[in-house]
Structure 1
Amino acid sequence: MVGQGSVNHNSRKFHAKNTDPERSHLNITYCQENIKAVYHELFDEALERYNAKQTRADRRIEDYYEKIRSGKQEKPFHEIILQVGNRDDMSADSEEGQLAAAVLDEYMKGFQERNPQLRVFSAHLHMDEATPHLHIDFVPFTTGSKRGLDTRVSLKQALAAQGFQGGTRGDTEWSQWVRSEKEQLSLVMERHGIEWEDKGTHDKHLSVLDYKKEQRAKEIAVLETVKAEKENQVESQERRLKELAPAVKNMERLAADFSANPEEILPEPGTLETGRAYREKKAKPLLAQIVKVLRSLYLAYVELRGKFERLQGDYGRVRESNIRLSDRLQEVKLENKAMRQVSADYERVKRAFGPEQVDRILEAAYQQEHAEKERKRAAKSKIRIDAR
């Protein structure tokens, strides 16, 4: 049943005519919190964020609880009442009544975990009336809302967040949730050896198999969404890895070409070999090889640096997307790793030959390239003059 929600009655601050005060000590109080304190807990931060955005004072909300209480869109809280059997077969002062109380107690202990969007603030099992029954009072809330407070009161959205999407007028989020909770209660009853007899006074309950099928369908819907997101992430990562593969392979080749110790690279002079012959036949070819490797390393470094800078630009444009941001950060780490390898190879060359010698080699190489370009340019000019 859906109750009106009299928290003072539920907590027995006053007794109605249908209660037996002598048996009230048998009642169980699961929780009894001040609803205004619960509103502060749930909504104060969202209220502060909402008010900070308002440019007009009349649009600010001073007390969110009072706004909901005096409004017409949402109730401040909701109450459900659950009972197993009736006064004829589950009387509160009988052994059967104790069994009903045990069923309700087990059901209640799993309620909040099953319903994370329904904040329970008052819950009582009554044994001082004709039949054991359970009152549960809760505040339904939703997070990530695009209108009003980003965390706000909403029964419909709270139940939707728990997987109850609603359909026709007779198959709302509420009716789906009520049916699901009845099934939870029936499963507890079965564990205690009680069979649910459908008297036609409520909607016909689902069989246990149907209930499990309904739950699996919800899980599948969630998993399909997650699967689609993951597939997009994988495709994006595969594309970027394919783009980076040639550069990484080139880095590995260069590192292999120049990973030996200087003693192994520099050949020993031959017997009676002159300094000129050693220079022309051994030293200069080795230096040419070093220059080639250094150029390749430098060009690879420039290429990766350009990719890194472009990646930084991409990061700035997609920073609002958490999923793509995560992918991009992973790519940055990969490219940083490749750049660190380039830098390590370059430092290895400097350690092997000394920074001054490496600088001289690079400078000589640049001058030689410039002279070669000038020679080719002059040769082309001479050919054009002779042709005339």
Structure 2
Amino acid sequence: MVGQGSVNHNSRAFNAKNTDPERSHLNITYCHENIKTVFHELFDEALKRYNDKQTRADRKIEDYYEKIRSSKQEKPFHEIILQVGNKDDMSAEGEDGQLAAAVLDEYMRGFQERNPRLRVFSAHLHMDEATPHLHIDFVPFTTGSKRGLDTRVSLKQALAAQGFKGGTRGDTEWSQWVRSEKEQLAAVMERHGIEWEDKGTHDKHLSVLDFKKEQRAKEIAELDAVKAKKQGQVEQQERRLKELAPAVRNMEQLAAQFSDDPDRILPEPGPLESAKSYREKKAKPLLAKIVKVLRSLYRAYVELKGKYERLQGDYGRAREGNERLSDRLQEVKLENKALRGTVADFERVKRVFGPEEVERAVEDAKRREAAEKEQKKAKRKFSRGAR
């Protein structure tokens, strides 16, 4: 999972309601440094080089940490959360929980060496919640930059320097790195006799609102693709109709020509030619040819006319389907706009009340919902037993 990051929560500067303080002594703190101190360590020299080059005072950076903290492009740090199993099969209070902790501990001890461009400043293994899990907070940085500070904060460039080159939108540096770290964790699990059941559901940890927003965006993209395909089918049907129309008209003209007055198409008799000879040698063969051609033309005409009518039907259905897709696409875009507004409101609540307070409120709500669900389940079991 990817979290917003709450160093105070991770270090147990305060205890949330979902923690058991009596088990907090079992937690492991791998490191807990002040992030501003880490920023000085990583960027002070680069900041001085940058400021020395500036000829205008307003372009100098006084506090690099504050600049990044208020930036819309980068974050001061990132946090990942790792967990093996869940409270049912890896409870922190049982032997399996100790096994999960051993796996996470081994994984953590190789993390910084594997990721030299992700400077870990806070890392904690929690054993005082339902399931053992690991919080790792790090500052991603790149060196040799041609823009801004030569050593600066950049998640994309930090991962690229570690060999993760982004490709398509769905295969970014981040997604490649996440897959690689999952494989590292899976290898540690295997050494401890645990098989990884890849359910394909952990590509990104999203809040419910973010998940819905992402699903709507996917649906819009899919509808756009289907609409484009349908539009292509409509255009193809239009082209085929235009191509067939002249052929149908030509068939009608030919049929009309060969249905003309026989006196106008029969050859004149020769000098001294008898009626019998004329009929047998000229009239009958010509009429036989005409009949054969007419039958052939009629069959082709009927076939082309049927194909023309079928194409007209397909064209009508394609246009109708395309119109329905346009309506659905507009509905989904409106839903997505509403979801973006809801997410923005949620972010405002977090800024007003603070992320820790909102996090506690969300956790309280989840626990109440879980308790209500268990109560309903117990009532259903009781009702079935009574019958």
Higher RCO structure (Cα 8 Å, ≥6 apart): 2
Q: Please give the secondary structure, in 1, of the residue aligned with 2:74.
A: coil
Residues 33-182 of structure 1: pairs in structure 2 closer than 5 A: 33-182=33-182
Normalising by the residue count of structure 2, what TM-score does the alignment of the two structures yield?
0.52
> Structure 1, residues 47-81: CA drift from partner, whole Å, max 9, x if none?
00000000000000000000000111100000000
Distance 1:67 1:9 in 2: 24
Extract structure 1 runs of 4+ deviating beyond 3 A: none
Q: Using the TM superposition, give the Cα deviation of residue 200 of structure 1 relative to its aligned residue in structure 2, in angstroms.
A: 3.4
Distance 2:67 2:200 in 1: 40
Distance 1:172 1:129 in 2: 33
Q: Using the TM superposition, give the Cα deviation of residue 198 of structure 1 relative to its aligned residue in structure 2, in angstroms.
A: 2.1
Distance 1:199 1:141 in 2: 32
Unaligned ranges ≥5, structure 1:
205-388
> Structure 1, residues 247-280: CA drift from partner, whole Å, max 9, x if none?
xxxxxxxxxxxxxxxxxxxxxxxxxxxxxxxxxx
Q: Using the TM superposition, give the Cα deviation of residue 161 of structure 1 relative to its aligned residue in structure 2, in angstroms.
A: 0.1
Q: Please give the secondary structure, in 2, of the residue aligned with 1:89.
A: coil
Q: Using the TM superposition, give the Cα deviation of residue 4 of structure 1 relative to its aligned residue in structure 2, in angstroms.
A: 1.1
Distance 1:3 1:101 in 2: 20
Distance 1:40 1:203 in 2: 33
Distance 1:199 1:98 in 2: 23
The answer to whether residue 12 in structure 2 is matched with residue 12 in structure 1 is yes
> Structure 1, residues 92-145: CA drift from partner, whole Å, max 9, x if none?
000000000000000000000000000000000000000000000000000000
Q: Please give the secondary structure, in 2, of the residue aligned with 1:139.
A: strand
Q: Please give the secondary structure, in 1, of the residue aligned with 2:125.
A: strand
Paired amino acid for 2:144 = G
Paired amino acid for 1:81 = I
Alignment-derived partner of residue 292 in structure 1: none
Alignment-derived partner of residue 286 in structure 1: none
The answer to whether residue 228 in structure 2 is matched with residue 189 in structure 1 is no
Distance 1:101 1:133 in 2: 7
Q: Using the TM superposition, give the Cα deviation of residue 168 of structure 1 relative to its aligned residue in structure 2, in angstroms.
A: 0.3
Paired amino acid for 1:85 = G
Distance 2:2 2:30 in 1: 19
Q: Using the TM superposition, give the Cα deviation of residue 203 of structure 1 relative to its aligned residue in structure 2, in angstroms.
A: 4.8
Distance 2:67 2:203 in 1: 35
Q: Using the TM superposition, give the Cα deviation of residue 197 of structure 1 relative to its aligned residue in structure 2, in angstroms.
A: 1.1
Q: Using the TM superposition, give the Cα deviation of residue 199 of structure 1 relative to its aligned residue in structure 2, in angstroms.
A: 2.7
Distance 2:203 2:42 in 1: 34
Q: Please give the secondary structure, in 1, of the residue aligned with 2:171.
A: coil
Unaligned ranges ≥5, structure 2:
205-387
Paired amino acid for 1:201 = T
**What is the percentage of aligned positions where both structures have the same residue?**
91
> Structure 1, residues 151-209: CA drift from partner, whole Å, max 9, x if none?
000000000000000100000000000000000000000000000112332359xxxxx
Aligned length: 204
Q: Using the TM superposition, give the Cα deviation of residue 3 of structure 1 relative to its aligned residue in structure 2, in angstroms.
A: 0.9
- Contact 2:175/2:203 (8 A) holds in 1: no
Q: Please give the secondary structure, in 1, of the residue aligned with 2:160.
A: helix
Root mean square deviation of aligned Cα: 1.0
Distance 1:102 1:160 in 2: 30
- Contact 2:92/2:130 (8 A) holds in 1: yes
Q: Please give the secondary structure, in 2, of the residue aligned with 1:100.
A: helix
Q: Please give the secondary structure, in 1, of the residue aligned with 2:123.
A: strand
